[in-house]
Structure 1
Amino acid sequence: MSPWVNQIGFSQRVRLEWFEQTANLVLAGNDKSAVNNALQKLLKDKVSVNGQAERGNREKIITILLKVWLNAPAKLESLRVRGLELLRGLPRADHMAVHWGMVMAVYPFWSGVATQVGRLLKLQGSATAAHVQRRVREQYGERETVSRATRRVLRSYLDWGVLQKTDTKGIYTAGTTQPVDDSLLIAWLVEAAMHARANGLTTLKDLLDSPSFFPFRLKPTHAESLVGASSRLDILRHGLDDDLIMLRKQPTKRDSP
């Protein structure tokens, strides 16, 4: 597993509406200081109430929000900009998919937990927290930080409405499942998923059917359509019906004439 994909980072319970608010602040042209101040005000009565710790839960949540929609890693800058454009133009019902994609690209751990949840839901119609924990620790290591982060991510899924509780504690079923039909959004989600993977290429079917997208139903599409919708994706032919998708190498300043 590459160092990028092996990082955890996402260690807090973060609500969907907080990501939406952050993106709206960025789209309105606010700088980092203004966005930070607005988020501090938003979360003041919701997280770490009366807390004085320099790096309390509120500060950690704000760090996550800012890293996703304001100061994403350089290699994700074009993905971030395009994601903001999608949020500006798409119906509100499609916004969750954009936030999901950007979070999984910036924090592959989110995608790792989603993959295990999605697999369990597909196999048995429910996901037990203990089973998800065991599978995630097998991948990321037997560390308390892994267990704690997994709990926070699962709680985030509940907040987002993509999982729902059952009468049995620690057992969840699928919540909201949203169709994704917009070809530009599908191409963008495929790109986001590629950034969350350790390998540099995979089959189109594997991407579209990925358990990491368990809250969504991505419309079947052809590889040519994806590449036509995103200049950052490329096709590697592999048999008649098994196209491989990869991220296209982006030119750097050193590469420029």
Structure 2
Amino acid sequence: MTRRTDQIGFSQRVRLEWLEQTANLVLAGNDKAAVNEALQDLLKDKVSVGGQAERGNREKIITILLKTWLTVPSELESLRIEGLELLKRVPRRDHLAIHWGMVMAVYPFWSGVATQTGRLLRLQGSAAAAHVQRRVREQYGERETVSRAARRVLRSYLDWGVLQETGAKGIYSAGTTLAVEESRLIAWLAEASLHARANGSAPLKDLIDSPSLFPFRIKPVHAENLVAASSRLDLLRHGLDDDLVMLREDHRKKPKRSKLGDSGSS
């Protein structure tokens, strides 16, 4: 079976407000059929050229929206439940971080594109779409589907405001940078990032400073505090400054279930 970290999956341009609407529908207690119907209505005149929506693309977008906030893979159920709780609790400005984290956990391809984008932004202050696509193809294969999906992810970053156009075609600079300072949100975002990694673990510094989180300025945190904030994270200490943060095996294999939007299997 192909691992999620090897799949593309996220192949459409998805706006942040569509994810927000999906999460709100789930929080309101709607089942899968009701959420699907509401999203069909929301997108019927939006996913198109000239106002004529292509049903195929709309269906693909709705699949992404549902899989992010409703029909998640079983090992992400606990992450989803807490993500929904965070959306209810944290200020609206922090919602971007929660949607970003949930998308990267469900669709590691999003994280892969973000990693290449973030690296280029750090190196030269800008990111060329062609360079991002080339690096992503090196990881996922020399296929047109990979390039096309990467382009649509980049367009999503633009829509979300975390990238912005420059004067040169296909060259982007950093957009909005969001400070993440709340300890529970930092721990949740770290957990989401680990789910996007094939081995489910990373040194603390690599995790918090990952280029895949380029839109965020994350407050420095001690590994002990990170693990204390989440029962689903574990810590392996190799040395004084070498803390390895990892997903706890029991939570990866036995996710908790909840009534909160728990209609993904319906």
TM-score under structure 1 length normalisation: 0.95
Shift of 1:250: 1.7
Return the letter of the residue paired with 1:92: R
Q: Report the equivalent of 2:190.
A: 190
Partner of 1:230, secondary structure, is coil
Q: Report the equivalent of 1:229.
A: 229
* CA offset digits 1:59-110 (Å, max 9, x no partner): 1000000000001000100000010000010000100000000000000000
Q: Does 1:118 align with 2:118?
A: yes
Return the letter of the residue paired with 1:60: K
Q: Report the equivalent of 1:170.
A: 170
**What is the alpha-carbon distance in structure 1 between the residues aligned to residue 122 and residue 199 of structure 2?**
23
Q: Report the equivalent of 2:130.
A: 130
Partner of 1:238, secondary structure, is strand
Matches within 5 A, 1:131-150: 131-150=131-150
**What is the alpha-carbon distance in structure 1 between the residues aligned to residue 76 and residue 110 of structure 2?**
16
Q: Report the equivalent of 1:74.
A: 74
Return the letter of the residue paired with 2:4: W
TM-score under structure 2 length normalisation: 0.92
**What is the alpha-carbon distance in structure 1 between the residues aligned to residue 235 and residue 42 of structure 2?**
43
Q: Does 1:91 align with 2:91?
A: yes
Shift of 1:13: 0.2
Q: Report the equivalent of 1:156.
A: 156
Aligned 8 A contact 2:44 2:53 in 1 = no
**What is the alpha-carbon distance in structure 2 between the residues aligned to residue 237 and residue 50 of structure 1?**
56
**What is the alpha-carbon distance in structure 2 between the residues aligned to residue 200 and residue 41 of structure 1?**
37
* CA offset digits 1:188-244 (Å, max 9, x no partner): 000000000012321000000000000000100011111111000000011101110
**What is the alpha-carbon distance in structure 2 between the residues aligned to residue 111 and residue 145 of structure 1?**
17
Q: Report the equivalent of 2:259.
A: none
Query: Which region of structure 1 is more displaced relative to structure 2, 4-13 or 40-49?
Result: 40-49
Aligned 8 A contact 2:235 2:246 in 1 = yes
Taking a change above 3 Å as real, the CA distance of residues 52 and 207 of structure 1, as seen in their structure-2 partners, is: closer
Shift of 1:51: 4.4
**What is the alpha-carbon distance in structure 2 between the residues aligned to residue 244 and residue 100 of structure 1?**
23
* CA offset digits 1:146-180 (Å, max 9, x no partner): 00000000000000000000110000000000000
Q: Report the equivalent of 2:211.
A: 211
Return the letter of the residue paired with 1:46: K
Higher relative contact order (CA 8 A, sep 6+): 2
- Gapped regions of structure 1 (runs ≥ 5): none
**What is the alpha-carbon distance in structure 2 between the residues aligned to residue 195 and residue 152 of structure 1?**
22
Q: Report the equivalent of 2:10.
A: 10
**What is the alpha-carbon distance in structure 2 between the residues aligned to residue 123 and residue 28 of structure 1?**
43
Taking a change above 3 Å as real, the CA distance of residues 50 and 171 of structure 1, as seen in their structure-2 partners, is: closer
**What is the alpha-carbon distance in structure 1 between the residues aligned to residue 13 and residue 54 of structure 2?**
19
- Gapped regions of structure 2 (runs ≥ 5): 255-266
- State the percentage of identical aligned residues: 77
Shift of 1:50: 3.8
Shift of 1:134: 0.6
CA RMSD of aligned residues (A): 1.2
4+ runs deviating over 2 angstroms = 48-53
* CA offset digits 1:114-147 (Å, max 9, x no partner): 0000000000000001110110000100001100
Say how many residue pairs are matched.
Answer: 250
